[in-house]
Amino acid sequence: MTSKEYNQSVHEFSDKIYRFVLSNLKDKDKAKDVVQDTFEKLWLKLPSVGFEKVKSYLFTTAYHTLIDILRREKHFTQLENQFTKDMKYENEYSDLQEVLHKAIQKLPDDQRSVLLLRDYEGYSYEEIGEITGLSESQVKVYIYRARKFLKDFVVKMDYII
């Protein structure tokens, strides 16, 4: 291919390639960059690409460049979403902790005491029974009811938030 044929291909195909890339990327500046990269690659391969195959070469090259950009953006978006999700999770965790403290305060005294002894202090059911004067089975029932209340309370708060 001669430089005159190259200039003719730029004149003939640059707008078509730009519209093709723009319809996929939705970003004018990136579309212009892809067109420029495509014609640069053609310039570097000028001796090996015949004028009769230039249209096919240009669109194939533009397509592959477009795919590379979309893959990079997808990877970047996934990383960005993961980072945002991690940050959001930390914020939700502190809010969840606040919600749990409010829910614990709403528990009846006996349920709150056995739950705190079990989950925060780490006492066994038998030890909690000795401390509170309740039977071991009653301690288990109170802990079950308290945990069920907390679970229901947190689920209801998720709908509010």
Class of domain 107-160: mainly alpha
Q: Is the pTM of this model over 0.95?
A: no
Class of domain 3-80: mainly alpha
Round to whole Å and give the CA distance between 80 and 82.
5
Please give the pLDDT value at position 155: 78
Residues making up the chain, counted from first to last: 161
Q: What is the DSSP string of 116-146?
A: IIIIIT---HHHHHHHHT--HHHHHHHHHHH
CATH 1.10.1740 location in the chain = 3-80
The pair of structure tokens assigned to 40 is 């640069």
CATH 1.10.10.10 location in the chain = 107-160
CA angle (118 as vertex; 137, 135 as ends), nearest 5: 20
- pLDDT by 10s per residue, the chain, length 161: 888 999 999 999 999 889 888 877 878 999 999 999 999 999 998 889 888 889 888 888 888 888 888 888 775 555 555 545 544 444 444 567 777 888 888 888 888 888 888 887 788 999 888 888 889 999 999 999 999 998 888 777 654 55
